[in-house]
């Protein structure tokens, strides 16, 4: 039997990347296609661009002050990569960034049961939202691609708050938009430190999504673990698993 805190859920917040779809599994292909475009536009080899891109990414992350959405900017990574290659950073950075995200959007697929889960939450009258690091524009594109917009009430990104998870501002802004209290709301994510510990810190009820976990909702001390959105759908419908 589930802990009584999990029985009457009024809100569901969720991370996006690697929670609702597998970002890690598609970004390598996106970067490979971006490197091919760079090689065709510039007098460089694909491997040279990839090396410069990784160095540029590390520089951006190390030199930027604060934990903000700009840390994830592929435009900044590409611009710095071009500069490191001795090319004008303004020459084609925008096209390279567009190529990267177009590839991600093209290849992304929702994990099994995700749409049904959010549809069931909507039918049950549960408020739903996305709480995600990253810039707002690309997260809007992803949610449209996943066809989840009709089932969502709110989106908060780290671009909006100026801080990233596990900062409490991220979660609290979502709760404010949704009009639910933390103790009434599940938070679904894939990262123990950012998602589970961050959610616990503001009083949310965390659900850790692990693809290799059992296809059931297992209760741990203070949070849930599952590898199945179908099992999570049954959980919110029945209040127990």
Mean pLDDT per 10-residue segment, the chain (241 residues): 65 97 94 96 93 96 83 94 91 96 98 96 95 95 97 96 94 96 96 96 95 80 90 81 41
Q: What DSSP assignment string belongs to 184-216?
A: GEEEEES-IIIIIIHHHHTT-EEEEE-TTS-SS
* pLDDT confidence of residue 119: 96
Q: Are residues 217 and 113 in the same domain?
A: yes
Q: Are residues 176 and 116 in the same domain?
A: yes
Give yes or no: 191 in active site: no
Check 17, 133, 190, 195 and give the catalytic one. 17
Closest listed residue to residue 53, CA positions, set 27, 19, 14: 27
- With beta carbons less than 8 A apart as the criterion, state whether 223 and 191 touch: no
- Out of 89, 107, 125, pick the residue that ends a domain: 107
**The pTM is what?**
0.91
φ and ψ at 80, to 5 degrees?
A: -70, -35
Q: 46-63 and 24-41 are packed helices; what angle lies between their axes, rounded to 10 degrees?
A: 120
- With beta carbons less than 8 A apart as the criterion, state whether 74 and 53 touch: no
Q: Are residues 122 and 161 in the same domain?
A: yes
Kindly state the tokens that stand for 129.
Answer: 């939202």
- Out of 81, 107, 133, pick the residue that ends a domain: 107
* pLDDT confidence of residue 15: 98
Q: Are residues 62 and 88 in the same domain?
A: yes
Q: Are residues 118 and 177 in the same domain?
A: yes
Q: Are residues 102 and 125 in the same domain?
A: no
Question: Vertex 189, ends 60 and 13: CA angle to 5°?
Answer: 105
Q: Are residues 137 and 102 in the same domain?
A: no
Q: Are residues 217 and 170 in the same domain?
A: yes
How many whole angstroms separate alpha carbon 187 and alpha carbon 131? Answer: 9
Closest listed residue to residue 103, CA positions, set 46, 40, 28: 28
> Regarding beta strands 205-209 and 185-189, do their DSSP bridges make them parallel or antiparallel, or are they unpaired?
parallel
Check 15, 153, 190, 191 and give the catalytic one. 15
CATH, residue 221 = 3.40.50.1000
Give yes or no: 17 in active site: yes
Q: Which domain holds residue 36?
A: 25-107
Q: Are residues 121 and 210 in the same domain?
A: yes
Task: State the total domains in the chain.
Answer: 2
- Out of 86, 107, 128, pick the residue that ends a domain: 107
φ and ψ at 226, to 5 degrees?
A: -155, 155
Output the CA–CA distances (angstroms, integers) from residue 150 to 97, 119, 129, 147, 153, in the order listed: 28, 9, 11, 7, 8
Q: Are residues 29 and 147 in the same domain?
A: no
* pLDDT confidence of residue 1: 39
* pLDDT confidence of residue 4: 60
Q: Are residues 36 and 103 in the same domain?
A: yes
Arithmetic mean of pLDDT over the chain: 92
Q: Are residues 52 and 79 in the same domain?
A: yes
């Amino acid at each position: 039997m589930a802990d009584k805190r999990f029985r009457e859920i009024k809100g569901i917040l969720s991370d996006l990347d690697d929670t609702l779809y597998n970002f890690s599994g598609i970004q390598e292909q996106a970067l490979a296609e971006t490197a091919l475009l760079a090689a065709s536009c510039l007098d460089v080899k694909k491997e040279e661009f990839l090396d410069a891109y990784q160095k540029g990414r590390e520089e951006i992350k190390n030199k930027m002050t604060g934990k903000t959405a700009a840390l994830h900017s592929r435009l900044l990574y590409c611009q710095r990569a071009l500069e490191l290659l001795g090319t004008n950073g303004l020459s084609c950075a925008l096209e390279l960034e567009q190529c990267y995200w177009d590839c991600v959007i093209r290849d992304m697929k929702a994990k099994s049961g995700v749409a049904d889960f959010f549809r069931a939450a909507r039918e049950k009258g549960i408020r739903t939202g996305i709480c995600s690091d990253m810039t707002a524009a690309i997260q809007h594109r992803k949610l449209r691609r996943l066809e989840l917009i009709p089932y969502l009430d709110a989106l908060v990104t780290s671009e909006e708050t100026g801080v990233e998870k596990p900062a409490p501002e991220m979660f609290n802004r979502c709760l404010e938009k949704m009009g639910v209290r933390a103790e009434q709301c599940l938070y679904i994510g894939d990262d123990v430190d950012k998602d589970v510990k961050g959610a616990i810190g503001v009083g949310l009820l965390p659900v850790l999504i692990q693809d290799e976990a059992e296809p059931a909702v297992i209760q741990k001390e203070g949070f849930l673990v599952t590898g199945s959105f179908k099992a999570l759908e049954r959980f919110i419908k029945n209040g127990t698993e």
